[in-house]
Amino acid sequence: MELRIVPGAVPTRAEKHASTGKSIAPLAPGFSPERFTDVAKTEKWFRRNCNDVMKRECSAAEKADVLSWLMTLKP
Ligand code: HEM
C-alpha cells in the first residue's frame, strides 16, 4: 500500500488539525515529553489511526518500529 505524506509535515513541530484547525503538539517525545506516557491514550490512538490508515490494527513490532524512529528525533 502507498502511504501519502503531507508535504512538510514532520513529527517534531506542532501542526494543525486539517478540519478543526486545533493545534496538535509534536508526536516525537523528544519535542513533547508527555507523548507515549499514557498507555490507554497511546493504545487508543494506535488502534484508531492504524485502522484508518491500514484497515487493521498495528502489530506490536510495527508499534515498536514507529516508536523507535520517533525516539531518534531529538531537539
Ligand atoms: C499508521 C499511521 C499512524 C500512526 C502509527 C499513528 C500513531 C499515533 C499515536 C501513537 C498517537 C498517540 C500519541 C500519544 O500517545 O500522545 C496518535 C495521535 C494522533 N494522530 Fe496519529 N498515527 C497515524 C496516522 C494518523 C493520521 C493519518 C492522522 C490524521 C489524518 C492522525 C491524527 C492523529 C491525531 C489528531 C492524534 C491526536 C493528537 C493529540 O493527542 O494531540 N494520525 N497517532
Q: Specify the amino acid at residue 43.
A: E
Q: Write down the pTM of the prediction.
A: 0.86
> Domain 15-72: what homologous superfamily?
Cytochrome c-like domain (1.10.760.10)
pLDDT at 50: 95
- The CA distance from 74 to 22, in Å, is 24
Grid coordinates belonging to 46 = 494506535
| 21 backbone φψ class: left, alpha, beta (φ>0; ψ -120 to 50) | left
Residues 4 and 47: their CA atoms lie apart, in Å, by 19
Q: Is 35 a pocket residue for ligand 1 (Cβ < 6 Å)?
A: yes
Using most ligand atoms within 8 A of CB, pick from 49, 50, 73 the residue to mutate for ligand 1: 49
User: Looking at residue 67, what is its pLDDT?
Assistant: 95
Distance between start and end Cα atoms, the chain: 31
Q: What is the pLDDT of residues 9-67, one digit of tens each?
A: 789 999 888 889 899 999 999 999 999 999 999 999 999 999 999 999 999 999 999 99
pLDDT interval class at 1 (50, 70, 90): very low
